């Protein structure tokens, strides 16, 4: 089967970086048409730079990387340096990128790519706030029917929130954008905290990355070592949660994940619960299902895949 064409929309972020590396290490299953950076974990200038650094780390310098939206649709940007460090990619010492951003705006690249490629063949993979994708849909509503699927990391049901008591970071940062995505009318697959908080890098798993002995394996080990401190202190977790790699792992091995096709709506009014993903897990609302909301992951299978693919780079 031909590899699945994707656009990765991202705000690296150590876990975004690992998600990108997993995709770039899996060319038989995934063709990365481009990477679009968005403001999120850190401001846009840094997420764009970090995207370039990750491509260079992987040795994939031909992947076009575009800068996108600087701020959410209707709110001030909230960032997460307290989790990811000042650069967003704290941990390893990576060289400044030689690669340059491709000219043009990320939103235009998303629109043009969806219009150029055969309808129903391009999957969008948002790993950060949904500003770029929502802006593309606002600017060019015709692309909605051309999207194969949106597979995103965001939201939570049982785990409720990480940035506020009620909301997950990516959705909270731009709830208006998330609302547009969840109403776009096509296929959506969601990797919420309910799944990603199970994808924990234990010491043993981190040792396996390091034992690859390659610059990529060692950088991944150093990234996860850096950002584990936040979740360890806050939740008492065993290690860093690999949120965003759940998205790219799903494209390669969907059987690693289990979920339910349910209605998901986004809170956009209440400051108290802003960005909450109201997932009708128990089917009590009577509202029409619009998303496959994942709830479980085969964690050992996930880390076996990740370690093997990181090892290919």
Rounded to a whole number of angstroms, the minimum distance from the CB of residue 95 to ligand BDR is 22
265 binds Ca ion (CB under 5 A): no
How far is 37 from 14, CA to CA, in rounded Å? Answer: 14
Site string for ligand BDR, 94-133 (x = CB under 6 A): ---------------------------------xx-----
**In angstroms, what is the minimal distance from the CB of 41 to Ca ion?**
6
CB 132 within 8 A of CB 140: no
Interface residue with ligand BDR, options 18, 243, 276, 279 (CB under 6 A): 243
The site for ligand BDR, by CB under 6 A, has a size of 15
- Reduced to 3 states (helix: H, G, I; strand: E, B; else coil), residue 229 is helix
Q: Is 172 in the site for ligand BDR (CB under 6 A)?
A: no
Tokens 């060289």: give the residue.
Answer: 95
Residue 36 and residue 283: Cα distance in Å, rounded? 35
- Cα→Cα distances 240→133, 150, 181, 203, Å: 27, 25, 28, 10
| Contact partner at residue 169 from Ca ion, ligand BDR, none, CB < 5 to 8 Å by partner kind | ligand BDR
As a residue count, the chain comes to 313
DSSP three-state, residue 237: coil
What radius of gyration do the chain's Cα atoms show? 18
Identify the residue among 17, 46, 48, 83 touching ligand BDR (CB under 6 A): 83
Site mask for ligand BDR (CB under 6 A), range 218-237, x = bound: --------------------
Q: Does 201 bind ligand BDR (CB under 6 A)?
A: no
Binding mask 133-172 for Ca ion (x = CB under 5 A): ----------------------------------------
Asked whether the CA dihedral 281, 283, 285, 291 is positive or negative, the reply is positive
Query: Residues 127, 134, 152, 156: which binds Ca ion (CB under 5 A)?
Result: 127
Where in the sequence numbering do the catalytic residues fall?
Answer: 243
Q: Which is nearer to ligand BDR, 153 or 201 (CB)?
A: 153
Query: Is residue 13 reached through a cis peptide bond, with omega within 30 degrees of 0 on the bond before it?
Result: yes
9 binds Ca ion (CB under 5 A): no
**What DSSP line would sit under 34-102, residue for residue?**
EEEE-SSSS-HHHHHHHHHHHHHHHT-TTS-EEE--SS-SSS-----HHHH-SSSS-SS--PPP-S-PP
274 touches ligand BDR by CB under 6 A: no
Task: Return residues touching ligand BDR (CB under 6 A).
Answer: 13, 15-16, 41, 80, 83, 127-128, 153, 162, 168-170, 243-244
Task: Return residues touching Ca ion (CB under 5 A).
Answer: 11, 13, 16, 127-128, 244
């Amino acid at each position: 089967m031909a590899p699945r064409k994707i656009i990765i929309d991202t705000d690296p972020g150590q876990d975004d970086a690992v998600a990108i590396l997993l995709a770039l290490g899996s060319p038989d299953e995934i063709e990365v048409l481009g990477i679009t950076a968005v403001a999120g974990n850190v401001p846009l200038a840094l997420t764009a730079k970090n995207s370039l650094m990750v491509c260079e780390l992987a040795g994939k310098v031909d992947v076009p990387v575009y800068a996108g939206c600087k701020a959410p649709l209707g709110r001030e940007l909230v960032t997460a340096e307290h989790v990811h460090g000042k650069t967003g990619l704290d941990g390893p010492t990576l060289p400044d990128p030689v690669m340059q951003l491709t000219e043009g705006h990320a939103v235009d690249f998303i629109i043009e790519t969806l219009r150029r490629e055969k309808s129903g063949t391009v999957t969008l993979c948002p790993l950060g706030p949904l500003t770029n994708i929502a802006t593309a849909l606002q600017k060019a509503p015709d692309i909605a029917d051309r999207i194969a699927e949106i597979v995103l990391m965001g939201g939570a049901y049982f785990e409720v929130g990480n940035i506020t008591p009620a909301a997950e970071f990516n959705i909270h940062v731009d709830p208006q954008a998330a609302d547009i995505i969840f109403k776009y009318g096509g296929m959506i697959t969601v990797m919420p905290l309910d799944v990603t908080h199970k994808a924990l890098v234990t010491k043993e798993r981190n040792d396996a990355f390091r034992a690859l002995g390659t610059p990529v394996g060692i950088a991944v080990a150093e990234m996860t070592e850096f950002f584990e401190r936040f979740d360890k202190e806050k939740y008492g977790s065993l290690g860093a949660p690999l949120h965003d790699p759940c998205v790219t792992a799903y494209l390669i091995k969907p059987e690693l994940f289990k979920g339910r096709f349910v209605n998901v709506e986004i809170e956009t009014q209440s400051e108290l619960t802003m960005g909450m993903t109201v997932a009708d897990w128990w089917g009590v609302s009577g509202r029409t299902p619009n998303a496959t909301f994942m709830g479980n992951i085969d964690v050992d299978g996930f880390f076996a895949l990740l370690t093997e693919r990181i090892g290919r780079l």
